[in-house]
Structure 1
Amino acid sequence: MAEQLEFFPVASPCRGISQSDERGFCRGCMRSRDERFNWQKMSDAEKQNVLRLCRQRFLRKIRANKPLPSEDPQQPSLF
């Protein structure tokens, strides 16, 4: 795939939290250890790919923490 020209450098998604979760991803930006350490060495295309992966990880984490809908009706019975 052809690399798209970027007018501005791809900024780091770091939020200054720098704590890893149980799977090894940063709790702030959702990057892996290797992705964090190698960020400065990556091309813009590689950085864009890492950002895409981070968004996927974040959405997956949100979905996993979302409570399942209960089978009981929300409104109590009037009878």
Structure 2
Amino acid sequence: MEQIEIFEIPSPCRGICEVNNRGYCKGCFRSREERFHWHALTEQQKRKVIDLCAQRQKRVMAAKKRGGDIQSQSTSQAAEQDDLFKSDT
């Protein structure tokens, strides 16, 4: 049975609107495409973007805690990062 959405999922925008070295917003951790297409996404896609943003934020916080930055991660780990608009090839 599918759950009925009563409330619209609000944009995770925090009004910071700066991009980090990986192309994700420093405030909400969305990609450019995720930000630009937010209003066209389905509720399910919006939930997926919110989940992806939470994962990205955890990675950034973990890198800061280790004393490095997100750029110092291995290339294989960076390649594993999900994005709603990147195709699986």
On the 8 A contact 1:4/1:45 being kept in 2, the answer is no
C-alpha spacing 1:31/1:21, structure 2 compared with 1 (3 Å)? same
- Calculate the aligned-residue CA RMSD, in Å: 1.4
What amino acid is the match of 1:20? Answer: V
> Could you tell me which residue of structure 1 aligns to residue 55 of structure 2?
56
Distance (whole Å) between structure 1 residues aligned to residue 6 and residue 28 of structure 2: 23
Distance (whole Å) between structure 2 residues aligned to residue 41 and residue 58 of structure 1: 23
What amino acid is the match of 2:59? Answer: R
Distance (whole Å) between structure 1 residues aligned to residue 20 and residue 62 of structure 2: 16
Distance (whole Å) between structure 2 residues aligned to residue 30 and residue 3 of structure 1: 28
User: Which structure is higher in helix share?
Assistant: 2
What amino acid is the match of 2:42? Answer: S
1:1-79 aligned within 5 A: 4-67=3-66
Distance (whole Å) between structure 1 residues aligned to residue 3 and residue 60 of structure 2: 29
What displacement does 1:3 show?
5.2
Bigger-Rg structure (1/2): 1
What amino acid is the match of 2:43? Answer: D
Could you list the runs of 5+ residues in structure 1 that have no partner in the other structure?
69-79
What displacement does 1:4 show?
3.3
| TM-score, length of structure 1 as denominator length | 0.79
Identity of aligned residues (%): 46
Could you list the runs of 5+ residues in structure 2 that have no partner in the other structure?
68-89
Q: Deviations over 1:4-59 (max 9, x none)?
A: 32110000000111100000000000000000000000000000000000000000
